[in-house]
Structure formats: C-alpha cells, structure tokens
Amino acid sequence: MDLVALNKVAVAMAAPGKGILAADESSGTIKKRFDSINVESTQDNRRDYRELLFRTTDAMRDNISGVILFDETIRQKAADGTPLVKLIEDAGSIPGIKVDKGAQALAGAPGEKITEGLDGLRDRLNEYYDLGARFAKWRAVIDIAGAEIPSSYCISTNAHALARYAALCQEANIVPIVEPEVLMDGDHDIDRCYDVTEYTLKALFDELYAQDVALEGTVLKPNMVISGKKCKKQAGVEEVAEKTVRCFRESVPAALPSIVFLSGGQSDEEATAHLNAMNANYSQIMPWALSFSYGRALQAAPLKAWGGKADNVDAAQAAFAHRAKMNGLATKGEWNDGLEKAA
C-alpha cells in the first residue's frame, strides 16, 4: 500500500472548488433515469449520454475532481474510439469505479439490506486499477422505518463489509469511498436522522479501525442530517447545516481528509444550498474538506435537457456545467441563490 499516493488522491477528491460526479448508475438505475425522458437504455445511448458529460471540458477541469463509473462505462469507448477513461483523464479528472454489487435482503432482518460484492473483489480491484481507476465506491443502505429499523445488526454487518472493502481497496492502491447512506425516504424528523447517522458513523469508524484501514487514504460519502422526505416538519437550510456539522464532529476522526456528500433525492438547489451553508458557516471548526459526490443533483438538469437527442448536446452540457459550477462555489461557501437566477 502506497499511503502517500492514496492520500494525494483522497485530498484531490475535495480540492477547493471541486467535487465528484457520480455517474455509476447500475443498469437498472440508468434505465429508470432514461425511462423518465423516454429514451431507450441501449449501450450506445448510455455511452452517448455519459460521453457528453465527460466532454464538458471546462466543468470537468474546473469543478469535477473525479468521476465514479459503472463496470460497463470503465470499459467503454467514445463514438470516435477514445476510451471514456481517457476523456476523463485528459480533462484533468480522476476515474473511479463502483465495486459493490448492490444491496440485497439481510437474512433475519425483514425490511433491511446488506450490500454484497466482497467475493472476488481483490481480483476485480487489480483489474480496475489497470483500467485506470484510482478510487472506488461501496454503498451501504440504512433505512429508517419506525422504532425497530435500522437494527444494530444491520448497521454492524454493513459497517463490517464497508471496512473489508476499504482494506482491500487500499491493498490495491485504490482510495475507498465508504458510503453508509442513511436514506431520507420516510416520515422521520431530522433528529431521528441525526441519531441514526451518528450511530452508523461511529460503527463504521470502529470497523475501519479494527480492520486497519488508513483514514488518510479514505474518503467518506455520507448523507446529510436532514428531515425524512415525508416528514411534515422540514428542517431549513441552516438547521441541516448546523446538525450535519455537529453530528460529524461527534463521529468522524480528523485524520480523514475529505467528506463528499451524496444528494440522496434532495433537489438540485437544496443539495447546493446545504453544502454551501456548511462551508460558509462552519469551515473554521471542521478538520476535513467538505464537498459533493452527487448523482441526481448534478445530472437531473442535463439529462432532461438532452432528452436523447444529438441536437441537444450543447444545452445538456450547459446545464451540467452550471450545476457543477454552483456546487464548486458551494465547496468554498461562495454560492448564493442569486447566481442561480442570474443563470
């Protein structure tokens, strides 16, 4: 393990003004996204769409530190034969890879999930390194439903798997992004989200310690502390920022260089406003850089603008560049909603 190289990548992921584009939708998820714009999910359409994102050169250079790819995409070539990985590297961004195999029912825990994909992972990581990946992602899913879910069993098994994945990544000189996503579906309030997120993060960092994972070469991809989508009382931007930062200060060691949030179903502007408020108001008391690793909150606008038509590529790239720029400003606490309206 080359910890100096790992740390360099982990720091670069959340360099000021930059964050990650999560473009690692599995076959099922990208089909859902394409269904929403009435485009068939063929290999060529998936390639064309992702190629247009990776060719948005100014945004990629200025605001996108890395791109998380799906297995198909890391092997795919652009229409002119250039590997998509090379497009990303040429734009000055770092290719990464989703390596988990998705969340399945957790035995003995109705309604809860465990993420699979550890078998054979060492070999897959070595292959992905050769294909250009310098970081990876593994997502664990923690649902909140009533008083019994999540169970401590669900959290501990997922934390254990995340740590096993992270140790294997570091052995292969790939930076692990550890993603324990506490879902924002449900009617729970922000304080319940706080408690579950704190418990989950503490369990995760215990396991990372037990399995000898070097935090200096690790990136955390968490949910924000936020009200459930169906909760009647929705916390405002300032409350989300204050509670998220407080929760992390209670549970995330200072040795970790970078935290990059998932968007998790927040609207584009909410995801930007929350990140901005944390960096604008709390940067003095945070030991880590705080940035984004958004899927939907970066892609919803360009996907809609594209609509599967080659004529719309310019409009889609403009929409992507705008969101990347807004989130880049939010990493520095320099965003305001006037900038959205001006655009």
Name which of 200, 219, 128 is nearest 159 in CA terms: 200
Report how far residue 324's alpha carbon sits from residue 306's, in angstroms, rounded to the nearest whole number: 16
Residue 274: alpha-carbon gap to chain centroid: 15
| Subset of 239-298 contacting ligand 13P (CB under 6 A) | 262-264, 294-297
Q: Return the number of the residue (170 or 263) whose C-beta is nearest ligand 13P.
A: 263
Q: Which of 18, 113, 221, 325 is catalytic?
A: 221
What single-letter amino acid sits at 43? Q
The reply on whether position 113 binds ligand 13P by CB under 6 A is no
Q: Return the number of the residue (49 or 338) whose C-beta is nearest ligand 13P.
A: 49
Report how far residue 29's alpha carbon sits from residue 41's, in angstroms, rounded to the nearest whole number: 10
Q: Are strands 94-98 and 135-142 parallel, antiparallel or unpaired?
A: parallel
325 is catalytic: no
Report how far residue 281's alpha carbon sits from residue 89's, in angstroms, rounded to the nearest whole number: 33
Measuring CA to CA, how many Å separate 240 from each of 61, 108, 189, 227, 339?
A: 30, 34, 11, 8, 21
179 is catalytic: yes
Nearest distance in Å: CB 273, ligand 13P: 15
Instruction: Give the nearest residue (CB) to ligand 13P.
Output: 295
Residues near 304 by Cβ (< 8 Å), separated by ≥ 6?
A: 37, 319
Q: Which of 112, 179, 181, 198 is catalytic?
A: 179
Site string for ligand 13P, 295-314 (x = CB under 6 A): xxx-----------------
| Subset of 114-153 contacting ligand 13P (CB under 6 A) | 139
Q: Return the number of the residue (270 or 340) whose C-beta is nearest ligand 13P.
A: 270
Nearest distance in Å: CB 162, ligand 13P: 13
Site string for ligand 13P, 177-196 (x = CB under 6 A): --x-----------------
What single-letter amino acid sits at 87? L
Catalytic sites, residue numbers: 179, 221
